[in-house]
Amino acid sequence: MAQRDTEQSFDESGGGVAEEEIESRVGLRYTLSQVRRDPTAMFGLYVVGFMTAIAIFAAFDHYVLDYWFAETFWMHPHRDPSNIQRLLPPAWSENVFGEGIWKYPLGTDHRGRDVLVRLFYGTRIAISVGFLSTAIGMVGGTIVGAVSGYYGEWIDDVLMRAVETLYAIPFLVLVIAFMAAFGRELVYAMIGVGIVQIPTFARLIRSRVVSVREEDYIEAARAAGVRDSRIILRHVIPNSFAPVLVQATLQVGVAILIVAGLSFLGFGAQPPTASWGQMINQSRDSMIVNPWFSIWPGMAILITVMAFNMFGDGLRDALDPRLQN
Amino acid sequence: MGIGRYTIRRILQTIPVLVGIVTITFFLTDAIPGDPVQIMLGPSPSARDIELVRAKYGLDKPLWVRYINYLADVSPIWLWPKATFPFVELQTGVDLGKSIYYSVPVTQKIMERLPVTLLLVASAFVFAIVTAIPLGVLSAKRRNKPTDHVARVVSLIGVSTPSFWIGLMLIIVFAYHLDVLPATGLILPWANPAEVSGAENRIHILMLSFIHLIMPTITLGTLQMAAITRIERSSMLENLSEEYVRLARAYGVRERTILRKHAFRPAQLPIITIIGLNLTAALGGSVLTEVVFNINGMGRLIITAINNQDYPLVMGTTIYYGMVFVIGVIVTDISYAYIDPRVSYGEAEA
C-alpha cells in the first residue's frame, strides 16, 4: 500500500522547474498571488468565508437574537403549540400542508421549525467539525509521517504498518465503532474523523520527508549537533509542508462529508441540535410530501464541500507549477 | 526480485496489518459501554445465569487473555495452520464466535451479508469506470474547451455531493414521481427463483436484480466516478505531454492513434491504484447506501450490531471490512505489477 502514493503530483513537484526559479516560486506571497488570479479558487474562498461567518454567528447568536429556539423550540414556552405549521414548502410554492410563507423562506421541518434557521445552525457543526477534525488529522499525520520518514528503518516500518491498519478499516466503519465505544456526542465524531484522516497526511508528508532528509541543510544541522526533534520541527516539517496545506483544504471537505454521513446514521450531533446530515435523516419520512426539506440540507453540504474543493484545487495548481498552463 | 517473490512478499506484508485490524477492533469493541450479558438475559437475571453466560462466552477472563484467545481464534483467517505437532492440521474455518443478537455464528451471518455488499461495491466500480474513463479522456482531449469544462464541473460536483443524499434524490424522482424503479431492497442475481416473488426463472431474476441495482449503484458510484474522472484526465494530460507522444506527432501519426495507443494505455495505470485505495471509501459508503435503500448487507449488519451491543458481531464485521480492503489492495498491487513492466517491486521505496 505504501509503495505508491495517490498524491503523485506532489512527489515531483518542482521537478520540472529550474533550481533558481524555485526560490521565487515557492514563497507564500507568490502562491497567494497565483491563487488570487484564479477566479474559481477565489469563488471557493469567498463561499468558505461566508459559511464560516455564518457558523461563527450561529455559535454566538443566542446572545443577540432569539433564534436559538429554532433548535429546541418544541419545549419553548413562548411558542403557541397550536400554531405550529409543519412541513411547509418554500415561500414560492405549495404542498398538501399549505402555501409557503415568507416567514419561513425555505419552509418548515417535521416539527414546524424554520428550515433556513436550522441550516444556519447546521453550518456551525459542519464548519467546526470540518476544521477541527482536519486539524487533528493534520497534526497527528504530520508528526507520524515526519518521524517515520526522518528515522526510516524499523521505526518507519512500524509506523507505516500502523497507518496502513488505520487506513484498512473503512473510515465510516472505524468512526462508528469509535463512537460506539466512547460516545455518540459530537466531540467524539470530531476526534474519530480526525483519527481516520491521519493516514492521508502521514503518507503525504512521509513521501516528502524521505527526500527532504537527504538535503544538505539537514546534514549540516545534524553535524552541528542539533537534536533530532528540533531538526524535525524546525527544518523537516516546514520544508515538506506545502502539499499538506493543500491536502488539508481538500480534507476539510471530506471531513464535512464524513460527518454528514455519521449524522445521517445517528452518530454525531444529537437532536435537537441541528446538523445537516441529521436534517436529511429527519426528512426521510416526509420526502414524498415535502421533498424540499430533503433538498436544502443536501444543497448546503454540496455547496460547502464544493467551495473547499475549488479553493483546494486552486491552491494546488498555484503550488505545483508543473500543472499550470 | 521476480514477480512471484513480489507477490509472496506483498501477501506476507499484510499479516501485521491484519493483526493490527484485529487489535484495534478488539480494544475498541471492548470499550463499548454496556454489558452484553445484561442485554442477553433481559432486565433482572439471576446471578447464576450471569455467571454461566459469562463463562460460556469467555467474558470472565481478563482482557489480555481474551485478546490472545481472540487472536488465536481468528488466526485461521490467514490460513495459519493450527499446529498440533507432529501433525499439522490445516483449518479453513474461521471462528469469530457467536452473535449475541442473532444467536448464530458470526461467520455465518457475515457470509449471508458479505456477497450483497461486494455486489454493490463491484457494480459501483463498474459504473464508475465505464463512465469516468470516456469522460476523462474526452476532457483531456478537448482541454479547456466546453466539453472539458462540463466534465470538470461534473466531477467537482461528484466529489462534493454526499452519496446518501444522491440516493434520496434518486428515490424521490425515480421511485415516487416517475415510479419506474424500486425504492428499496436488492435481489442477488444468483438468488433462487423459487424464493423471489414475481420471478419464475433465471432471466426474471437477472432483470429484477439489475433494476434493483441501478439506483444504489449510482448512489455509491458517483463519488468514485468523479474521482476516477479527475485522475484519468490528469493522467492523460501527463502522458500526452510525454516525449514519445511528441515524437509520434512529429512522425505524423494520426492524433486518434496517438490518443489510443500512446497515451491511453499508460494513462490507465494510476486508475488501478486509485481503485485499490478508494475501496475503503466505497466500503464505508456502502454502509450509507445500504441504509438509504434498506439493503441487508454488511453495513446494516454492523449498525444493528452496534445498536444491540453485539460484541462478537461488531468485531467480526469490522475485521471482514478490513480484510476485504486488504485483499483488494493486494490484488490491485499485483495486477499493477503484472501490467506495468516498469514497476520495481518495492525497492524504489524510501
Distance CA A264, CA A287 (A): 15
A287: closest CA of chain B, how far (Å): 7
Say if residues A232 and A146 touch (Cβ distance below 8 Å).
yes
Looking at residue B227, what is its pLDDT?
92
Looking at residue B345, what is its pLDDT?
52
**Helical (H) or strand (E) element with A98:** strand A98-99
Say if residues A184 and A265 touch (Cβ distance below 8 Å).
no
The percent of residues above 70 in pLDDT, for chain B, comes to 87
Looking at residue A209, what is its pLDDT?
85
Distance CA B133, CA B131 (A): 6
**Helical (H) or strand (E) element with B29:** helix B3-31
Using an 8 Å CB-CB cutoff, list chain A residues near B277.
1, 6
Q: What is the pLDDT of residues B152-186, one digit of tens each?
A: 999 999 999 999 999 999 999 999 889 888 888 88
**Phi–psi pair at B36, nearest 5 degrees:** -60, -30
Distance CA B131, CA B265 (A): 17
Q: Enumerate the domain spans of chain B.
A: 113-339
Q: What pairs with residue B84 in β-bridges?
A: B87
Facing A302 at nearest CB: one of B160, B273, B281? B160
Say if residues A134 and A255 touch (Cβ distance below 8 Å).
yes
Which CATH code for domain B113-339? 1.10.3720.10
**Helical (H) or strand (E) element with A94:** strand A94-95
User: All 3 cell numbers of residue B307?
Assistant: 445498536
Q: What is the pLDDT of residues B48-75, one digit of tens each?
A: 777 777 777 667 777 788 788 777 777 6
The answer to whether B159 contacts A309, with C-beta atoms less than 8 Å apart, is yes
The answer to whether A264 contacts B164, with C-beta atoms less than 8 Å apart, is yes
User: All 3 cell numbers of residue B17?
Assistant: 496489518
- Is the Cβ of A195 closer than 8 Å to some Cβ of chain B? no
Say if residues A108 and A115 touch (Cβ distance below 8 Å).
yes
Closest residue, chain B, to A173 (C-alpha): B284
Question: What Rg value do the Cα atoms of chain A yield, rounded?
Answer: 23
Residue B348 confidence class, pLDDT cut points 50, 70, 90: very low
Residue B347 confidence class, pLDDT cut points 50, 70, 90: very low
The answer to whether A165 contacts B169, with C-beta atoms less than 8 Å apart, is no
Looking at residue A11, what is its pLDDT?
41
Q: How much is the average pLDDT of B317-334?
A: 87
Distance CA A150, CA A208 (A): 10
Looking at residue A70, what is its pLDDT?
54
Closest residue, chain A, to B15 (C-alpha): A161
Q: What one-character-per-residue DSSP string does B251-311 give? A: TT--HHHIIIIIIIHHHTHHHHHHHHHHHHHHHHHHHHHHHHTT--SHHHHHHHHHHTT-H
Looking at residue A25, what is its pLDDT?
52
CA distances from A248 to A200, B50, B101 (A): 10, 49, 41
User: All 3 cell numbers of residue A296?
Assistant: 436544502
Tell me how many degrees the CA angle B199-B204-B209 measures, rounded to the nearest 5.
100
Q: What is the pTM of this model?
A: 0.86
User: All 3 cell numbers of residue A140?
Assistant: 497527528
Using an 8 Å CB-CB cutoff, list chain B residues near A199.
none
The DSSP output letter for A235 is: I
Among A160, A165, A287, A317, the strongest candidate for a mutation testing the B interface, having the largest count of B CBs within 10 A, is A165
Using an 8 Å CB-CB cutoff, list chain B residues near A177.
25, 28-29, 302, 306, 314, 318
| Burial (CB count <10 Å: 0-12, 13-18, 19+), residue A64 | exposed
Q: Enumerate the domain spans of chain A.
A: 39-323
Looking at residue B165, what is its pLDDT?
95
Closest residue, chain A, to B281 (C-alpha): A170
Per DSSP, helices labelled H in A152-213 are 153-168, 171-182, 186-212
Residue B90 confidence class, pLDDT cut points 50, 70, 90: very low
Which amino acid is located at B12 in the chain?
L
Tell me how many degrees the CA angle B105-B110-B116 measures, rounded to the nearest 5.
150
Which CATH code for domain A39-323? 1.10.3720.10
Lowest mean pLDDT across A111-120, A138-147, B1-10, B15-24: B1-10
Distance CA A198, CA A201 (A): 5
Q: What is the pLDDT of residues B256-300, one digit of tens each?
A: 888 887 888 888 888 888 888 888 889 999 999 999 999 999 999
Closest residue, chain B, to A253 (C-alpha): B160
Facing A177 at nearest CB: one of B28, B281, B349? B28
Residues present in chain A in total: 325
Q: Is the N-terminal amide bond of A238 cis, ω within 30° of 0?
A: no
- Is the Cβ of A178 closer than 8 Å to some Cβ of chain B? yes
Q: What one-character-per-residue DSSP string does B215-249 give? A: HHHHHHHHHHHHHHHHHHHHHHHHHHTSHHHHHHH
Which position has the higher pLDDT, B108 or B3? B108
Looking at residue B1, what is its pLDDT?
56
Residue B151 has pLDDT above 50, yes or no: yes
Q: Which stretches in chain A have pLDDT values below 50?
A: 1-23, 72-77, 323-325
Q: What one-character-per-residue DSSP string does B81-112 give? A: -EEETTEEE--------B-TTT-SBHHHHHHH
Say if residues A31 and A78 touch (Cβ distance below 8 Å).
no
Question: What Rg value do the Cα atoms of chain B yield, rounded?
Answer: 25
**Phi–psi pair at A320, nearest 5 degrees:** -110, 90
Looking at residue B125, what is its pLDDT?
94
Facing A169 at nearest CB: one of B234, B274, B322? B322
**Phi–psi pair at A98, nearest 5 degrees:** 135, -175
Facing B28 at nearest CB: one of A181, A280, A298? A181
| A135 three-state secondary structure | helix
Closest residue, chain A, to B274 (C-alpha): A6
Nearest alpha carbon to residue A320 among A6, A5, A15? A15
Facing B24 at nearest CB: one of A169, A182, A257? A169
Using H for helix, E for strand and C for coil, what is the string for B149-208? HHHHHHHHHHHHCCHHHHHHHHHHHHHHHCCCCCCCCCCCCCCCHHHCCCCCCHHHHHHH
Q: What is the pLDDT of residues B205-238, one digit of tens each?
A: 888 889 999 999 999 999 999 999 999 998 888 8
Closest residue, chain B, to A206 (C-alpha): B350
The percent of residues above 90 in pLDDT, for chain B, comes to 24
The DSSP output letter for A270 is: P
Using an 8 Å CB-CB cutoff, list chain A residues near B176.
287-288
Facing A178 at nearest CB: one of B28, B156, B168? B28
Using an 8 Å CB-CB cutoff, list chain B residues near A294.
165, 168-169, 172
